[in-house]
Amino acid sequence: MSAAMLVPILLVLAPLVPALASALLSGRARARNAINIAFAAFKLGVVAYALAGVEAGAFYEWRIAFVPGLDMVLRLDALALLFVTLSAVLWMATTLYAIAYLKGSAHQARFFAFFNLCVVAASGIAMSGSLITFFVFYEILTLATWPLVVHTGSAKAMAAGRTYLAYTLAGSAALLAGIVWLESGSGPVEFAAGADLSAFSPLAASMIFVLLIGGLGAKTALIPLHAWLPAAMAAPAPVSALLHAVAVVKAGAFGVVRVIYDVYGIETVAALGLGLPLAALASATILYGSLQALRQSDIKKRLAYSTVSQVSYIVLGASLAGPFAVIGGLVHLVHQGLMKITLFFGAGVLAERAGVTDIRQLDGVGRRMPVTMAAFSIAALGMIGVPPVAGFVSKWYLAIGGYQSGASWVIAVLIVSSLLNAAYFLPLLYRAWLKPAAPGLPDRNALAASRTWLLIAPGAFTAAAALGAGLFAGFELSPLSWAALIAERIYLP
């Protein structure tokens, strides 16, 4: 087997080993943690190797037939690698965080097994080279996430699990319907070639598009399919971090990008007149999510609605279909991941160490837990779009993209959304840094006892990465340059 075939396999299998090992090593936490970290590091190494290769124009592919002509294809192109890199980096961070967060809690073996399975699925989704491959990994993700959502077993968690399944499984049915309808007329669809739509009338092609996007929209949390995401907050913090930053919502958004660019193609989407309605829906989701976030006083809920809003930036960028909009959307895939995972890491630390879950309890937290809150603040500012944090870059490119595509109203949406972002994030920062400490807050000595660098460092690292992605956006191998590379390959094939 040549290196070109080996790379995609290794990237998918790297998390599978710790998934199995975690299940088998149920009583031996040290060995399990070591294996988890080792394989996360190994995957980072493979990703680095692949990055160098893909930038030089190579691509890696591995395929195996399901039935004659219907292949499972794992293919590393530039877009796939963007998502793979994000998932590999954040996997490492989340693994470290989860080890510290769950230390001493029950059923870690099960948690790490399904957690790693989620990473397998995310890697598979990223590298899918055909619709069927995408669907297979997409469903593995659905199934592997559910045990994490219901992990605590409380009535609230079970209810969240039910809601999650109701939305995602219905979405999957719609997605499958779209896929088989499409493939019953065009044969199996591979992303490299795109779908042959000649067998379909424009109406049928549009209906298939609606089914596909509707199915993906359930995971992307596009309105009106977003309700499961705030409910899923019952899960432990590392799960929320993973769900919001890398795995579930991103898988949906990534799928939308694939459908628009590699299944239908931008010309077809434009010819069918489907881009604009989708952009409008994404804009509505952006505004609706922000408005809802304003009304939440629970920190994790507020962050959840913020995700509803922010992930739609990716969909907006993809549906506007101009080079700059594409860059903005794709780069937001990475930037939102870095910023949102920082926020959830922070929220988890606040709840775990200081018992802070509500905004009103935040008073004075900043001086008691300076590193965590600094990271949190950087990410929050990034979400608002304050330069030089990464979020600003995304919004800037999206705005230019909207202008280029003749949809100047997008700029208005972005401005309003940023104002709303500010309205729901700044009060948090104000309370944390400028207000005197609330009486219920543990004092420094009490906090020192629960201080472990493993819990704090991942958040600090991702915050630094979000800052760096914005500051050094112009450098080679920055997320922005990489997104530009992808856009270049889309528009100048």
Partner 1 sequence: MNLLFALAGAPLAFLLASLIAGRHGARLIWIAAPVITALAFWLALETHARPQGGALGGWMPPLGIALEADGLGAVLLLTCALTASVTGLFALGRYGGARPESARRYTFWPLFYGLWAGMNAVLVSRDLFNLYVAIELLSICAVALAAFGSRQAAVNYMMIALAGSLAYLLGAVLIYAALGTLDMSLIAQRAPEARASVLIAAALITGGLMAKTALFPLHGWLPPAHGAAPTAVSALLSALVVKASFVILARVWFEGLPGLAGAGVITAFGVLGAAAIVYGSVLAITQTGLKALIAYSTVAQLGYLFLVFPLAGGGESATPWTAGAWGAMGFHLSAHMLAKAGLFLAAGLMIYGAGGGRIADLTGLARAMPVTSLAFGLCAVSLMGLPPSGGFMAKYLMLIAALASGQWHYALVILAGGLMAAAYLFKPLARLFAGTGTPAIRALPHRSMALAPLVLGAAAIALGLLSAEPYALMVSGLPEAGEAGLEEAEP
Q: Does 206 interact with partner 1 (rule: CB under 8 A)?
A: no
The nearer residue to partner 1, 215 or 470, going by C-beta atoms, is: 215
Which member of 3, 20, 41, 64 binds partner 1 (CB under 8 A)? 64
Q: Does 169 interact with partner 1 (rule: CB under 8 A)?
A: yes
Q: Does 180 interact with partner 1 (rule: CB under 8 A)?
A: yes
9: its two tokens:
């396999």
Which member of 55, 61, 139, 488 binds partner 1 (CB under 8 A)? 139
Q: Does 63 interact with partner 1 (rule: CB under 8 A)?
A: no
The nearer residue to partner 1, 235 or 281, going by C-beta atoms, is: 235
Alpha carbon distance 115, 148 (integer Å): 7
Q: Does 13 interact with partner 1 (rule: CB under 8 A)?
A: no
Q: How far is CA 299 from CA 288, 289, 458, in A?
A: 18, 14, 19
Q: Does 210 interact with partner 1 (rule: CB under 8 A)?
A: no
Assess contact for 35 and 28: CB atoms under 8 A. no
Q: Considering all CA atoms of the chain, what is the largest pairwise distance in Å, rounded to the nearest integer? A: 70
The nearer residue to partner 1, 107 or 451, going by C-beta atoms, is: 107
Q: Does 181 interact with partner 1 (rule: CB under 8 A)?
A: yes
Q: Does 70 interact with partner 1 (rule: CB under 8 A)?
A: yes
Q: Does 451 interact with partner 1 (rule: CB under 8 A)?
A: no
364: its two tokens:
């004075």
Alpha carbon distance 251, 259 (integer Å): 12
Shortest approach of partner 1 to residue 398 CB, angstroms? Answer: 34
Q: Does 412 interact with partner 1 (rule: CB under 8 A)?
A: no
Q: Which of residues 72-101 bind partner 1 (CB under 8 A)?
A: 72
The nearer residue to partner 1, 142 or 418, going by C-beta atoms, is: 142
Q: Does 162 interact with partner 1 (rule: CB under 8 A)?
A: yes
345: its two tokens:
């890491």
Three-class SS state of 190: strand
Q: Does 145 interact with partner 1 (rule: CB under 8 A)?
A: no
Three-class SS state of 277: helix
Q: How far is CA 253 from CA 60, 162, 214, 247, 364, in A?
A: 23, 22, 11, 10, 37
The nearer residue to partner 1, 192 or 426, going by C-beta atoms, is: 192
The nearer residue to partner 1, 96 or 109, going by C-beta atoms, is: 109
Shortest approach of partner 1 to residue 250 CB, angstroms? Answer: 19
Name the residue among 488, 304, 280, 474 with its Cα closest to residue 396: 474
The nearer residue to partner 1, 26 or 404, going by C-beta atoms, is: 26
275: its two tokens:
């881009």
Which member of 28, 58, 66, 409 binds partner 1 (CB under 8 A)? 66
Q: Does 177 interact with partner 1 (rule: CB under 8 A)?
A: yes
DSSP letter for each residue of 219-250: HHT-TTS-THHHHGGGS-HHHHHHHHHTSHHH
Q: Does 186 interact with partner 1 (rule: CB under 8 A)?
A: yes
Which member of 2, 184, 201, 445 binds partner 1 (CB under 8 A)? 184
The nearer residue to partner 1, 178 or 479, going by C-beta atoms, is: 178
The nearer residue to partner 1, 150 or 413, going by C-beta atoms, is: 150
Q: Does 132 interact with partner 1 (rule: CB under 8 A)?
A: yes
Assess contact for 101 and 236: CB atoms under 8 A. yes
Tell me which H or E stretch contains 63. strand 60-67
Which member of 199, 271, 419, 477 binds partner 1 (CB under 8 A)? 199
Q: Which of residues 25-44 bind partner 1 (CB under 8 A)?
A: 26
Q: Does 136 interact with partner 1 (rule: CB under 8 A)?
A: yes
Assess contact for 262 and 194: CB atoms under 8 A. yes
Shortest approach of partner 1 to residue 471 CB, angstroms? Answer: 42
Q: How far is CA 357 from CA 63, 237, 463, in A?
A: 47, 11, 21
Shortest approach of partner 1 to residue 265 CB, angstroms? Answer: 20
Q: Does 58 interact with partner 1 (rule: CB under 8 A)?
A: no
Q: Does 386 interact with partner 1 (rule: CB under 8 A)?
A: no
Q: Does 493 interact with partner 1 (rule: CB under 8 A)?
A: no
Total binding residues toward partner 1, as defined by CB under 8 A: 47
Alpha carbon distance 98, 239 (integer Å): 9
Shortest approach of partner 1 to residue 194 CB, angstroms? Answer: 16
215: its two tokens:
């199915």
CA dihedral 206, 209, 211, 213 (to 10 degrees): -140
Alpha carbon distance 53, 50 (integer Å): 5
The nearer residue to partner 1, 185 or 194, going by C-beta atoms, is: 185
The nearer residue to partner 1, 17 or 294, going by C-beta atoms, is: 17
The one-letter code for the residue type at 87 is S
Q: In terms of C-beta density within 10 A (0-12 exposed, 13-18 middle, 19 or more buried), how is residue 126 classed?
A: buried
The β-bridge relationship of strands 70-76 and 60-67 is antiparallel
Q: Which residues contact 24 (CB under 8 A, 6 or more apart)?
A: none
Alpha carbon distance 441, 157 (integer Å): 27
Alpha carbon distance 66, 62 (integer Å): 13
Q: Which residue ranges make up the site for partner 1 (CB under 8 A)?
A: 23, 26, 64-70, 72, 106-107, 109-110, 132, 135-136, 139-140, 142-143, 147, 150-155, 158, 161-162, 165, 169-170, 172-173, 176-177, 180-181, 183-188, 199
